[in-house]
């Protein structure tokens, strides 16, 4: 733990009352949504300016104190967990939208701006920020950039990195770098901006981000389709992509739907029971588009790929259909799920899911498994639910044993062990299944350039040596 005198010095670098050491604050700020590691930070510091961030990093280098960035703490890989006496740098008070350029469609944000705040700002100006996911009401832009957050619109709009025009970062050395300067075209060597996107705070802290906005979509419309088996979902995706520009294509299992229905606050999409469901979204900008969607639905029914379906007819119905998918993660959290966030190229998804499902069924026949994910971009979420009569530690230890087999399948399919949740601590021991030894060596060398003293979020992405 950091010496009290060193913490006293930290207090002189920020506004009064912005260094917290009480047990409740240490508990709250020292963790994210993962439950694998108990939080144990030395202190929480809440800067309000980029100059204060630089001062904190300089202080940490002088005293060899490890720093952990903290945003909305909605991460699922323990990337924002302080489990070893680190000082947490929380960006809650750097939460302002600093400027808006209507011609360039860009917004300059501090890292603590909440994702929903940016979405609402865009909407108020007749524009659209498309990166969206269930935790958008509490996640922060800095954290989204640190993990290259994806979500439900990737099939159309891509990941967070597609929307970052420029960054100001404070490196692990304490240098302030302005990266890309918001340019669309910039062919002047290495794009260091992209290194910091997805780096999980291991190279430095984002202190400002210029985010791009898009035109607002017109008359978004959703369909939920029930399929007789998982293999039918892929030809449904292919059929709709051939006729429509989809903004989303999600899937979930009957078990996932049952958990959401058990909440009692969302109506079922239709009466037919189906083992799998697809949720797709598109812009019904005119009647011809809606007719194309209905014609494609009828074709899928004729082919036996779809058993039943519904298309939203109002904004309320659109939101209710989306709740069927968006409420899954929150609903199953009651069962303390063991999560895997994995991906392959879209064409490999059916065989990939079958192989993993077989492994899990073989080794955990008594555990309930819930599948859902962003199938339009090849991202599957495997959730194993904890039995009520089993301790959390015993359950996680049991599930960790299957990781080797699951990730061997990921490696065989040239997939990723973490599609959008980052590596953090929960996936760091498995990085070699997705990255070669040479790649990992290059990544460590890059970290050494920006963070020579190893103070920036140590133990994340790479296992301690």
**Under a CB-based contact definition with an 8 Å cutoff, are residues 112 and 73 in contact?**
no
Residues 6+ apart with CB under 8 A from 155: 246, 247, 248, 249, 374, 376, 377
Residues 6+ apart with CB under 8 A from 35: 336, 392
How many whole angstroms separate alpha carbon 79 and alpha carbon 32? Answer: 8
* 101, 156: one domain: yes
Q: Is 288 helix (H, G, I), strand (E, B) or coil?
A: helix
* 231, 210: one domain: no
Q: What is the DSSP letter of 217?
A: P
pLDDT digits (tens, 9 = 90+) for 4-19: 889 999 999 999 999 9
* 68, 150: one domain: no
* 148, 71: one domain: no
**Under a CB-based contact definition with an 8 Å cutoff, are residues 321 and 222 in contact?**
yes
* 26, 87: one domain: yes
CATH number, domain containing residue 293: 3.30.70.2190
Helix or strand (DSSP H, E) at 155: helix 154-157
Helix or strand (DSSP H, E) at 43: strand 43-45
Question: 179, 200, 215 — which closes off a domain?
Answer: 215
How many whole angstroms separate alpha carbon 178 and alpha carbon 207? Answer: 10
How many whole angstroms separate alpha carbon 50 and alpha carbon 386? Answer: 42
Residue 324 lies in a domain: no
How many whole angstroms separate alpha carbon 257 and alpha carbon 324? Answer: 7
How many whole angstroms separate alpha carbon 244 and alpha carbon 263? Answer: 33
Instruction: Report CA torsion sign: 257, 216, 185, 99.
Output: negative
Q: What is the DSSP letter of 386?
A: P
Task: Please tell me the pTM assigned to this model.
Answer: 0.95
Please work out, in degrees rounded to the nearest 5, the angle formed at the alpha carbon of residue 36 by the alpha carbons of 35 and 38: 80
Residue 328 lies in a domain: no
**Under a CB-based contact definition with an 8 Å cutoff, are residues 455 and 172 in contact?**
yes
How many whole angstroms separate alpha carbon 381 and alpha carbon 384? Answer: 10
Closest of 256, 304, 303 to residue 279, by C-alpha: 256
Helix or strand (DSSP H, E) at 143: helix 141-147
Give the chain's radius of gyration (CA, Å).
23
Burial class from Cβ neighbours inside 10 Å (0-12, 13-18, 19+) for residue 387 reads middle
Report the pLDDT value the prediction gives residue 465, as an integer from 0 to 100. Answer: 76
Provide the number of structural domains found in the chain: 4
* 149, 242: one domain: no
At 417, give phi and psi (nearest 5°).
-75, -15
How many whole angstroms separate alpha carbon 321 and alpha carbon 250? Answer: 11
Report the greatest alpha carbon distance in the chain. Answer: 74
* 68, 169: one domain: no
H-helix segments, 158-264? 192-196, 233-243, 254-261
How many whole angstroms separate alpha carbon 174 and alpha carbon 176? Answer: 7
Residue 450 lies in a domain: no
How many whole angstroms separate alpha carbon 5 and alpha carbon 266? Answer: 54
pLDDT digits (tens, 9 = 90+) for 402-427: 889 999 999 999 999 999 999 999 99
Report the pLDDT value the prediction gives residue 265, as an integer from 0 to 100. Answer: 87
Sheet holding 338-343, edge to edge: 308-311, 220-227, 276-283, 246-253, 368-374, 379-385, 338-343
**Which domain range does residue 226 map to?**
220-318
* 342, 363: one domain: yes
Residue ranges, the chain, pLDDT below 70: none
* 249, 279: one domain: yes
Report the pLDDT value the prediction gives residue 170, as an integer from 0 to 100. Answer: 98
374 φ/ψ sector (left φ>0, alpha ψ -120 to 50, else beta): beta
* 282, 182: one domain: no
Residue 323 lies in a domain: no
CATH number, domain containing residue 64: 3.30.43.10
**Under a CB-based contact definition with an 8 Å cutoff, are residues 45 and 78 in contact?**
no
Question: 189, 215, 241 — which closes off a domain?
Answer: 215
**Under a CB-based contact definition with an 8 Å cutoff, are residues 384 and 337 in contact?**
yes
């Amino acid at each position: 733990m950091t010496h009290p005198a060193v913490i006293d010095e930290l207090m002189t670098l920020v506004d009064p009352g912005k260094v917290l050491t009480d047990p409740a604050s240490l508990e709250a700020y020292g963790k994210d949504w993962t439950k694998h590691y108990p939080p144990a930070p030395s202190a929480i510091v809440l800067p309000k300016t980029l100059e204060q961030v630089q001062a904190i990093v300089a202080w940490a280098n002088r005293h060899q104190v490890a720093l952990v960035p903290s945003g909305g703490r909605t991460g699922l890989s323990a990337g924002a967990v302080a489990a070893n006496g680190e000082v947490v740098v929380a960006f809650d008070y750097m939460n302002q939208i600093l400027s808006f350029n209507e011609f360039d469609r860009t917004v300059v944000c501090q890292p603590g701006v909440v994702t929903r705040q940016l979405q609402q700002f865009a909407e108020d100006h007749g524009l659209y920020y498309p990166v969206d996911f269930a935790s958008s009401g509490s996640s922060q832009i800095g954290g989204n950039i640190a993990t290259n957050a994806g979500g439900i619109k990737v099939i159309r709009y891509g990941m967070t990195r597609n929307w970052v025009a420029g960054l100001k970062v404070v490196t692990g050395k304490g240098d302030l770098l302005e990266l890309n300067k918001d340019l669309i075209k910039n062919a002047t060597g290495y794009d260091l901006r992209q290194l910091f996107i997805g780096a999980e705070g291991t190279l430095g802290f984002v202190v400002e981000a210029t985010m791009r906005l898009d035109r607002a979509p017109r008359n978004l419309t959703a369909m939920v389709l029930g399929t007789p088996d998982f293999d039918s979902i892929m030809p449904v995706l292919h059929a709709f992509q051939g006729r429509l520009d989809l903004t989303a294509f999600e899937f979930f299992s009957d078990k996932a739907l049952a958990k959401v229905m058990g909440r009692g606050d969302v109506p079922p999409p239709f009466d037919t029971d189906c083992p799998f469901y697809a949720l797709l979204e598109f812009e019904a900008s005119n009647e011809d588009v809606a007719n194309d969607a209905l014609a494609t639905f009828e074709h899928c029914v004729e082919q036996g790929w779809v058993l039943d379906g519904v298309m939203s007819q109002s904004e309320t119905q659109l939101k209710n259909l989306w709740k069927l998918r968006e409420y899954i993660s929150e609903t199953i959290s009651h069962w303390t799920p063991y999560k895997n966030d994995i991906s392959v190229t879209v064409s490999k998804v059916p065989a990939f899911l079958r192989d993993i499902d077989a492994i899990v069924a073989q080794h955990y026949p008594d555990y309930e498994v819930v599948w859902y994910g962003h199938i339009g971009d090849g991202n599957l979420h495997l959730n194993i639910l904890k039995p009520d009569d089993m301790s959390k530690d015993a359950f996680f230890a049991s599930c960790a044993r299957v990781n080797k087999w699951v990730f061997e399948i990921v490696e065989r399919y040239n997939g990723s062990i973490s599609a959008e949740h980052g590596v953090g601590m929960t996936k760091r021991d498995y990085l070699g299944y997705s990255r070669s030894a040479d790649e990992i060596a290059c990544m460590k060398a890059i970290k050494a350039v920006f963070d020579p003293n190893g103070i920036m979020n140590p133990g994340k992405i790479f296992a301690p040596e």
